[in-house]
Amino acid sequence: MSTALRVAIAGLGTVGAGTVSVLTEHRELIARRGGRPVDIVAVSAKNRAKERGVSLDAYDWYDDPVAMAREADVDLVLELIGGEAGPAKAVCDAAISAGRHVVTANKALLAIHGDALASAAETAGVSLNYEAAIAGGIPIVKALREGLTGNRVTRVYGILNGTCNYILTEMRENRLSFETVLAEAQNLGYAEAEPGVDVDGIDAAHKLALLASLAFGTRVDFAGVYTEGIRRIALEDIDYAEEFGFRIKLLGSARMTEHGLEQRVFPCMVSKDKPIAHVEDAYNAVVAHGDFVDDTMYEGRGAGAGPTASAVVADIVDVARGFAVATFGVPVGALADTAAVPIERHRGAYYIRLMVRDEPGVIANITAVFRDEAISIGSMLQRARSETEAVPVVLNTHVCEEAAMRRTLERIEALDSVVQQPTMIRIEPLN
């Protein structure tokens, strides 16, 4: 058997410790599949004394992960620190400069610096692999970069954040508020103490920027991703969605249009007859539409030690085999600079929930605004008078341009009879 692939691991958190477990427990299996043994040589983390559930005694310890990436006698460096800059980026820069392959699970780093890192890796003649950065254990990078290479991909979308999917599932199934479920998710470790990266859609946007580059051969454009989270989704919106035949999901969606690249992360209503509507709890799912293959759907656990470490090891095995492919599917110089389509040009149907005073003329005033903006109302529900002063008015529109919808809602919110900011959720046909 060939000489062992020597590996250094920077970061020994959940994913790093999980990767050590997979590489040690499946050492023989990985050697057979990769054509050579994979040996962990060096490791680095903040706290050497921390109990991680795996033995590190056989490996060289480095207090400085950048020094390890630069100096350790290894072929491959795993960057499992996290963060869009700082030591994570420094580790990757040092490893590439030293002629070492890099495997990372860091979507934030790649969403911001992916093009530059890919260019540096190309120049150095090393691989930069990142299967674990998108959707945990789902092999979506390999699917887009290799499996669908004979197709022109016209759209890619999916549930890219397990925390948000868990929250929306719990809200619906157990009839709990967003705040209650978020607190439970934090107690279970699904959400961080500061959950904004997840619930405000940023994590999903990082992943979508990478998926779009892979799918369409464009430069990574995180700044071009319109991003909206789930904080304003109320239990009554989930109930109305069910009544209308929908499920609310936080979707990331990208497609190439005649105007440029659309990249969107927002909560939307998806028909219950779509498979992705039934992806629940902390699971992720990605759908890619190719011109010859039609829709292909990939579903699985999007986070956690096991699934993410599984994806990291898949990248390691590719390096062991000597298999190399351009970071984003084509050489960096061939990646297209494509204009980002602003959200105001989005066209679709909308769900609108208004809280209004129960008094004569309210509905007439509201419908007059829709008429003035040439937006057609598909259906409307007005609930009976409640114990409070305000009552809900819920409606669905036909397809219109978002700029017109935003003007409409601004005018409606200014009406004296409207007592809360209107809630707007896009209806996504996924055609």
- Alpha carbons 160 and 201: distance in angstroms, whole number: 9
Between strands 101-104 and 76-79, the pairing is: parallel
Catalytic one among 107, 207, 249, 274? 207
Residue/partner pairs of 361-364 with CB below 8 Å, 24 or more apart: 361/417, 362/393, 362/417, 363/393
Residues 6+ apart with CB under 8 A from 106: 79, 80, 81, 82, 83, 84, 88, 130, 133
Tell me how far apart the alpha carbons of residues 131 and 413 are, in angstroms, rounded to a whole number: 45
Which DSSP letter does residue 73 get? S
Report the C-alpha gap between 271 and 48 in whole angstroms. Answer: 50
Contact 262, 235 (CB under 8 A): no
Q: Count of H helices and E strands in the chain?
A: 14, 17
Residue 144 sits at φ, ψ, to 5 deg, of -75, -40
End-to-end CA distance of the chain: 50
CA atoms of 116 and 308, how far apart (whole Å): 24
Structure tokens at 55: 């033995």
Q: At which residue do the structure tokens 């921390």 appear? A: 50
The vertex-301 CA angle with 296 and 306, nearest 5°, equals: 130
Q: Coil, strand or helix: which one is 222?
A: helix
**Residue position matching structure tokens 């656990």:** 301
Tokens representing residue 66 in the block: 């950048």
List of residues 6+ apart from 46 with CB closer than 8 A: none
Helix axes 27-34, 14-25, angle to 10 degrees: 80
Q: Is there a catalytic annotation at residue 207?
A: yes
- 187 within 8 A of 180, measured Cβ to Cβ: no
Catalytic machinery residues: 207
